[in-house]
Structure 1
Amino acid sequence: MVLRRLLAAFGAGVEVDTLLSGSVRPGGTLSGEVRFSSGKSDHRVTAINLEFVAEVEVEREGQTHKSRYEFFEAKVAGEVLLAAGSTHSVPFALPVPWETPLSTLGGHQLYGIRLGVSTELELAGALDKGDLDPLHVEPLPVHEAVLNALGRLGFTFSKADLESGTIPGSQMPFYQEIEYWPGGQFRNSFKELELTFVTGPSTVDVILEADRRGGFLSAGRDALNRFTLPHSESGDLTALINEKLGRLSA
């Protein structure tokens, strides 16, 4: 699928059309092309940059609001003298950071997650940032193995979000939580389950945080289990996840 966006820079008659090659995975490559053309005048484009942007929940003084976080930037074109009526094209291939959050599951947009690519045009000493082109990030096989195991155990997707803050082992200023309603044998143990991935070049840390139900003489509490899987782990993880969840419910 090709995604397009049209940008008229500063009313100066320069149009930028960014085409993305489709969905990507963490650690993969986003390829595409930036096309820019001039109207009736000559222009000097000093640089074109692409930024990966996430919409993140920020909590301050008990209030929550959304904020744009730029977590990757790359220069895809340097100075270009754009003659009147001419068109220039720049192909690009950018590395996708390993910790880029997921935005697509099972071919469907992950509700609550907004990721995008912003094209920044430097022209005549000024900057113009356009609207976001959606960035579709699919899970790695090891991610899918964990997600599929939760489904087999009766957990149902509730929502997902990106929250401000850095968790141990991560380099990102935010982290992703994928939330589930419990089912199966854990229906009476948990109120909800939150899943977070911290992905690196060779391994993935899986963080399961359960909101445990209280008993007649005990209050509910949060319980956490963190473990590491290699990227090569892509088979049936139902037994492993069942064992990890069992520890949270004990």
Structure 2
Amino acid sequence: MVFKRLLGSLGVGGPAVDTVLDPGAVTPGGQLGGQVHLRGGGAEFTIEHITLELVARVEAEHAEGESEGTVVFHRHVVGGNFRLGAQERRSVPFSFPLPWETPVTELHGQSLGVVLGVRTELGIAGARDKGDLDPLAVRPLPAQEAVLEALGELGFGFKSADLELGHIGGSGQQLPFYQEIELVPAPRYTHRMNELEVTFLAGPAGVDVVLEADRRGGFLSSGDDALSLFTVGHQEAGRPDWATEVDGWIARLLDRHAAYEAAAAHHAYGQHHGYDAYDPHKGHADGYGSPHGHSGGHDGGHRSGPGVGTAIAAGAAGLAVGVVGGMVAAEVVDEVGDFFEGDDENEEG
């Protein structure tokens, strides 16, 4: 076991800490468990608190371009208020639930390139020393896995995944950032979109699935983004028609915005054919048009409708090849290595 000594305000003779997480990946909303192992330094210290921080590498878009930083998205006190003698060894067990919106870092054991960590902070003599930092592996919930499995079965291919600082307008998002999983379109959709982005916003009752298509432009029109939200209950994740349902979501996502454009063109020529078009700024007359847009990382003004609230079973074959097969392992290793070398100066509040 390698202990990581706390330097800084405590000096070289301070205590050392090593946090060991329970083996295996955790699901969003699931219990994160493990033990914090302490070894006393050259003198006796009072450990006022032991706090675990969940941190993420997050991208932020701004006028000058993009930047990256470390965001703390959860803190949990797991112990404290005891004396640690010189050279004394002590272990503090812990278990607490992850936030429901914790990003997914892997799928079937393969990394998606999203980097999360658990950092240990000791409060000693009024000072806070950040010591141990360990990688955190998060696997998808059954409903999230069902969506990704279906996309793989439909022929969508994995492109990249990242965390974006900002809020999805009109949603119940709790964290200061959201995850985007970017996919190469299935062959049947390559003439209609450049890529598909998937965002999961999980909660105790289910998962909101945000789909955003980067649509290709036509002969007389430029490309744009089409965005919709669909709700999946946790209890629905065992249904067998998952790929069919997701394919229907994508078709409705594209057709709804196409209908809006067609109606707008008719209005421009004074022709109205008696139906209410989808308006990305006002919603849809049939109840599909709740406001929904990115803020902080995307242009404002996106809207979507809360589409069909169903989920389908996981277990479709071909996901590892279809969705995860495009990941370049070397890039993931470099990104993880840079993050866990420590980069506190870029930390966001």
Q: Specify the TM-score bucket, using the shorter chain as the normaliser.
A: over 0.9
Give the aligned length.
Answer: 246
For the pair 1:241 / 2:246, whether they are aligned, the reply is yes
Post-superposition Cα deviations, 1:72-131, rounded to whole Å, max 9, x if no partner, equal: 1111111221112211111000111111111111211112x1111000011222111135
Take 1:131 and 1:30, find their aligned partners in 2: how far apart are those partners?
Answer: 16
Match of 1:193 among 171, 196, 201: 196
Q: Which residue of 2 aligns with 1:124?
A: 125
Higher relative helix content: 2
**Matched-pair contact (CA < 8 Å) for 2:54–2:73:** yes
Take 2:250 and 2:15, find their aligned partners in 1: how far apart are those partners?
Answer: 56
Instruction: In structure 2, list runs of 5 or more residues that go unmatched.
Output: 256-349
**Matched-pair contact (CA < 8 Å) for 1:116–1:135:** yes
SS at match of 1:232: helix
RMSD: 1.4
Post-superposition Cα deviations, 1:157-194, rounded to whole Å, max 9, x if no partner, equal: 00011001112211111011000000231121110000
**Matched-pair contact (CA < 8 Å) for 2:183–2:197:** yes
**Structure 1 residue 12, shift from structure 2 partner:** 2.4
Identity %: 48
Take 1:220 and 1:198, find their aligned partners in 2: how far apart are those partners?
Answer: 26
Q: Which residue of 1 aligns with 2:4?
A: 7
For the pair 1:97 / 2:125, whether they are aligned, the reply is no
**Matched-pair contact (CA < 8 Å) for 1:55–1:68:** yes
Q: Which residue of 2 aligns with 1:21?
A: 22
Take 2:34 and 2:249, find their aligned partners in 1: how far apart are those partners?
Answer: 41
Q: Aligned letter for 2:116?
A: L
CA spacing shift, 1:47–1:13, aligned 2, 3 Å: same
Q: Which residue of 2 aligns with 1:210?
A: 213
**Matched-pair contact (CA < 8 Å) for 1:5–1:133:** no
Q: Which residue of 2 aligns with 1:67?
A: 69
Matching of residues 141-220 of structure 1 within 5 Å: 141-167=142-168, 168-220=171-223
Take 2:65 and 2:3, find their aligned partners in 1: how far apart are those partners?
Answer: 35
Larger Rg: 2
For the pair 1:31 / 2:36, whether they are aligned, the reply is no
Take 1:170 and 1:161, find their aligned partners in 2: how far apart are those partners?
Answer: 17
CA spacing shift, 1:151–1:209, aligned 2, 3 Å: same
SS at match of 1:85: coil
**Structure 1 residue 40, shift from structure 2 partner:** 3.2
Q: Which residue of 1 aligns with 2:110?
A: 108
Match of 2:230 among 204, 227, 230: 227
Give the TM-score normalised by structure 1: 0.94
SS at match of 1:52: strand
Q: Which has the higher contact order (CA 8 A, sep 6+)?
A: 2
CA spacing shift, 1:106–1:5, aligned 2, 3 Å: farther
Q: Aligned letter for 1:147?
A: L
Take 1:219 and 1:84, find their aligned partners in 2: how far apart are those partners?
Answer: 69
**Structure 1 residue 5, shift from structure 2 partner:** 6.3
Q: Aligned letter for 2:190?
A: R
Higher relative strand content: 1
Give the TM-score normalised by structure 2: 0.68
Q: Aligned letter for 2:121?
A: E
